[in-house]
Copies of this chain bind each other. A is one copy, B any other.
Amino acid sequence: MATNEHPMNGGDGKISYARNSLAQKKSVDASKKFISEAIAELFDIEFDPTKGSSMGIRIADLGCATGPNTFYAVQNIIDAIDSKFKRSLEFQVFFNDHVNNDFNILFRSLPFPRQYFPVGVPGSFYGRLFPKHSIDLIHSSSSLNWLSRIPKDVADINSPAWNGDSIYCKGKEVAKAYSSQYKEDFENFLNARALELVGGGLLVLVFGGIPNGSSFNQTTIGKDYEILGSSMVDMANKGLISKEKVESFNLPLYYASPSEIEKLIQDNGCFSIERMETFPGTRKNIVNLQMWPMTVRAAFEAMIRNHFGGEMVEELFEIYNKKHSDNVSIFEGDDVLTLVQLNIVLKRKN
């Protein structure tokens, strides 16, 4: 499988992911109580009496980026397990992201002291990452919206799904191509996790979606990507980048609706849906108009650099930032929707 890797900005400088991931942090916060309660009620492990009190619990966070959000999320999970079992447990935490993620920064910013043995796992979570039956709880936050690759047809001028100079999932045929790639990825994800989790193990997923019955370009984030795309078109019109490059650029991001996700999980069949909650993002929380452009840059810069070359990046984000603040009004219409946050707990069928 050809995969696109799209590392978040590394390091810990001004435009690093580590310092520009407040939106992702909000998702972690919004799922905290939900996850604690799910663990209290659903997380069952068999204690091996031959091992006395030395039971080890293995937790994985998939799509960890460079921190710090992953550390909050993991600590919340450990606290919930600790308060459930009230015995001395040893935790091993597997932090996973693409091989091009900046693991050096991740490791150097690990909390200290900490209550777990940390481990880094390089690789795409759309494939296998762990031996069979080796993980007790897998968590993933703000990562499952990233596709393993751009749907082939959207960049093919001869396809009805050709996306022209739009850079995101917009229009019926394009949405169909995105949805089909998402289905393939999500199935691969579930199949891999089903092998890796112990029987009864939990899969805790937090990611964004569109409200049932809506389309992505109605959402604030969709409108934001529209601005990013039109900034690229502006640059092409000025002859600063090629039109073909803009036409072949598409964001590998997809936001499904809750009912679409539910169907994918049921069709897959490896997991029971134990909890599923959609959490309405308030407009203010999700689009913090001052912070958002930096969040977008930290997440997308590497991918844009990779496609267009590095020379255009500064100017692109200047244009984008200006457009963004000049067009605040488009986020404020009555028909504008915010994405929902999906909080889902799945249990591996035995």
Contact = CB atoms under 8 A, between A and B. Distances in A.
B119 A120 contact: yes
Contacts of A289: none
A56 B104 contact: no
A54 B132 contact: yes
When all copies of this chain in the complex are counted, the total is 2
A94 B90 CA distance: 17
A131 B100 CA distance: 27
Nearest to A195: B54
A131 B94 contact: no
A291 interface: no
B90 A56 contact: no
Interface in A118-160: 118-123, 128-134
B99 A131 contact: no
Contacts of A56: 131-134
A51 interface: yes
A102 interface: yes
Given A110-B122, A122-B110, A131 B103 contact: no
A107 interface: yes
Contacts of A90: 131-132
Given A110-B122, A118-B122, A120-B120, A134 B92 contact: yes
Interface centre among A107, A132, A134 (most CB of B within 10 A): A107
A117 B100 contact: no
A86 interface: no
Contact of A117 (B92, B117, B129): B129
Q: In the complex, which range does the number of interface residues on chain A fall in?
A: 20 to 34
**Chain A contact residues, majority secondary structure:** mixed
Nearest to A121: B119
B108 A54 contact: no
A43 interface: no
Contact of A103 (B120, B128, B132): B120
Interface centre among A103, A131, A133 (most CB of B within 10 A): A131
Given A92-B131, A117-B130, A129-B117, A102 B104 contact: yes
A91 interface: yes
Contacts of A117: 121, 128-131
B133 A51 contact: yes
A90 B131 CA distance: 6
A99 B92 contact: no
A130 B134 CA distance: 14
Contacts of A118: 121-123
A108 B99 contact: yes
A118 B96 CA distance: 11
23 contacts: A51-B132, A51-B133, A54-B131, A54-B133, A56-B133, A56-B134, A90-B131, A92-B130, A92-B134, A99-B108, A102-B104, A103-B104, A103-B120, A104-B104, A107-B120, A110-B122, A117-B128, A117-B130, A118-B121, A118-B123, A119-B119, A119-B121, A120-B120
List the 7 shortest-distance A-B pairs measured between CB atoms, nearest first: A56-B131, A120-B120, A107-B122, A90-B131, A54-B132, A103-B103, A119-B119
